[in-house]
A and B are shown apart, each in its own frame.
Chain A
């Protein structure tokens, strides 16, 4: 597997949010006077020992809890922000005038919303990822404001936060946190959107080696029209270890005050019209060398880290929006009568509400599970000795790795074991705490696969598409009224369309998900990892693959249910479905790798299905984890949660099965060949190919 290709494919455009995880302990006993924001995510090395019948603390179970104090704090923040948004934010006017009024922006600055994750010592609020996600639910009530704030703090100033030096932080963060200076993130260029690694903006070092001169232009820059500070990515000449000169990407902190910066006129957009988006050009803009973020030539890594993890907050933002829509729409459906009945009594309308409720439920579950995993301090726990997974730098922070080991057991048939690990800064740390009982010996292990779930990206894709569908359905319930500007539905629809595009188009994200997920699949965990890195899938593997295929039909027990199961018995059915899907997925992926080898990278239609299954698997996990917790602690309305969880899991189970069937060799359900052929013929002629139905030949 070509790592560079993976990088190129994974580059995202524009908005992404960074993970800055905190050292905050989730327990009540530890009472930190203030949260310390880490500039690098902590190592959450955490592999779960899940052997048949025995369950240890997994990364996904139990659902992350936050301490009572933190919960109180979050709740005390929510009220004033909500109040501000309902009373002071006129979304209709913002959309109509394509501008956020200065009073509103000032109000946001005073509320402290411009420095949510900046540490307290620099004047920010220093909140954790979970809190950021919670506030995101409210801020998303207005799309333009949400994007303006995100462009400023989730990506604009994040570079300084996670990779900046102490001097840079002390110099720039205080004014950024108070909102006195607004930040922007400048990566995309006219010729480099999804393919961000191909940017052409140049930074040339001056004679006296004290300044870089920036030349080039960037497009689609949010806040570009008025940002005082920008994180700009440009190519710099770097001399490699071998003495060869290369042009590598470097990240710079650029102040508008440096001069040579011009902003174009604001783009007239479909949605988020209040957010300023424009072209930014640099003409010999002088940047002092002290303003390089991280290392010269290391800009790509900085960009990757910036654009990652913050993605998860889209899940909570989406769910916040849908919850609001459900309220508004349900009011209408319960009062509008047609044919002598309320709309809410008709099946098709009821289905829409069920869809909206499920989507909101899943989005919330995924978002807070991801945020919680990232916030949790690294608890060194046991791991599978056999699962020495050397994670490359490219696996994003917050990535959940699932290790499946196939073991032959004499009496029970073949079971699949799972180990979970979450990626931190130093990769997955392998630490064995104790030897569990019934640990399969090396001889028992017949093979396995490792699947990595880039959880924030998974949340992102699900939420953007789920949000789009739900808003559309909500608008549909209101019919003609929903179509008018008198109601906010059409604005929500236009605002949320961008979610599938920016911050990495969903197509790119799917490629990223699938390739990350498959990168380590097929590794034989008995120590042939090195072989895997060469991309060498041996013959022995083929036999294993076949064996797996047959054997897995027999019995799958991942320890999610049963006596020591982490999932509550009320959800046992759904958990079994998840286990089956995971096992089936594991074997399918191995099969695919065997069939295609390295060329799998070109097979987008296949990777798309792999990504979709992976998204569903994570969604099911999040949903089961959350509802298990709700039942166990007796949260209000947990019955409804169980209902939502089971319905979603069943739905996802069948969808997954269908996709996985399509991925089998020579599957009749798979029409990819035809699809590609149609596309080829159309694209060759660049038009619709068929003759008109009314044409004659005689």
Chain B
């Protein structure tokens, strides 16, 4: 019946003091403690809860990145996911990757795995983009329930209570859909040591973005600084963007 795809991202641990590299090219990541993005943990917890309530049959944890992300996938497995998918992207490609590429990968996977739900964290704590969920829904042309603080499955529909600027909004969307988890959705469980040991036996499949028909991320073009808003409008018109 139903399969849920959960995206998990490996980020620098929230408690770590971030230090900038001496050449200012980025942040020090070598030897620094990494862990699962807190919002992704909440997403995993929600998916596992839905499985425990028997609304869905299988939870698949997905992560994109170099080999180290398998640790994060294993944590998701230890929290209760059934299997994992590791989309290998490494080195320069990984650094250039952004929400657009990720959502293309997720969209392709969602179709391939015939998922009824894709649950993601609302944003990652390293880049704070808050885009992947929305882009994925757009690419799939699926309804989206973002900033979810409560999720209930009602037959073929999903009732989502969303935390928005004005307060709480309740919507009903039909499946398949994309949800993004907000802070108060649930309290993620601890991956207990016995579960971690059991998780070792669960499978993690390996694939490349190319296998899913997703291109290499384009090299990012340099930007231009302008002085005034008028200049900006002029440049955008000249570009053909507006």
Chain A positions near chain B (C-beta within 8 angstroms): 72-73, 75-77, 79-81, 83-84, 86, 107, 110-113, 120, 125, 636
Contact = CB atoms under 8 A, between A and B. Distances in A.
Nearest to B196: A76
Interface in B99-115: none
B193 interface: yes
A120 B193 CA distance: 12
10 contacts: A72-B71, A73-B200, A76-B71, A76-B75, A76-B196, A80-B192, A83-B190, A84-B190, A86-B15, A125-B193
B18 to A, nearest CB: 15
B71 A80 contact: no
Interface in B52-80: 71, 74-75, 78
B192 A79 contact: no
Contacts of A110: 190, 192
A111 B195 CA distance: 9
Given A73-B200, A75-B71, A125-B197, A80 B31 contact: no
B193 A81 contact: yes
Contacts, number: 41
B35 interface: yes
A107 B189 CA distance: 10
B195 to A, nearest CB: 8
Interface in B19-65: 31, 35
A10 B191 CA distance: 41
Contacts of A113: 193
A636 B31 contact: yes
A120 B15 CA distance: 34
A77 B193 contact: yes
Contact of A80 (B15, B190, B200): B190
Interface residues of B, number: 15
A77 B75 CA distance: 10
B155 interface: no
B35 A79 contact: yes
Nearest to A637: B31
B194 interface: yes
A437 to B, nearest CB: 44
Contacts of A84: 190
A440 B217 CA distance: 69
A122 to B, nearest CB: 12
A112 B192 contact: yes
Interface string B181-205: 0000000001111101100100000
Contacts of A73: 196-197, 200
A218 to B, nearest CB: 32
Given A83-B190, A636-B31, A77 B196 contact: yes
B74 A76 contact: yes
Given A125-B193, A125-B197, 5 more contacts: A72-B71, A76-B78, A77-B196, A111-B190, A112-B194
Nearest to A88: B190
Contacts of A76: 71, 74-75, 78, 196
Contacts of A125: 193-194, 197
B75 A111 contact: no
Interface string B141-185: 000000000000000000000000000000000000000000000
Given A76-B75, A636-B31, A112 B190 contact: no
A449 to B, nearest CB: 45
B56 to A, nearest CB: 24
A86 B190 CA distance: 12
A120 B197 CA distance: 10
Interface centre among A73, A80, A110, A120 (most CB of B within 10 A): A80
Which of B71, B75, B192 counts the most chain A CB atoms within 10 A? B192
**Residue among B35, B192, B193 with the highest chain A CB neighbour number at 10 A:** B193
A77 B194 CA distance: 10
B133 to A, nearest CB: 25
B193 A79 contact: no
Contacts of A107: 190
Contacts of B194: 112, 125
B75 A79 contact: yes
Contacts of B197: 73, 120, 125
Contacts of B193: 77, 80-81, 111-113, 125
Nearest to A115: B194
Contacts of A72: 71
Contacts of A86: 15
B148 to A, nearest CB: 23
A86 B14 CA distance: 13
A62 B192 CA distance: 34
Nearest to A109: B192
Closest 10 CB pairs of A and B: A112-B193, A112-B194, A80-B191, A111-B192, A80-B190, A110-B192, A112-B192, A76-B196, A125-B193, A77-B193
Contacts of B192: 80, 110-112
Nearest to B13: A79
Nearest to B15: A86
Contacts of B196: 73, 76-77, 80
A77 B31 CA distance: 18
Contacts of A79: 35, 75, 191
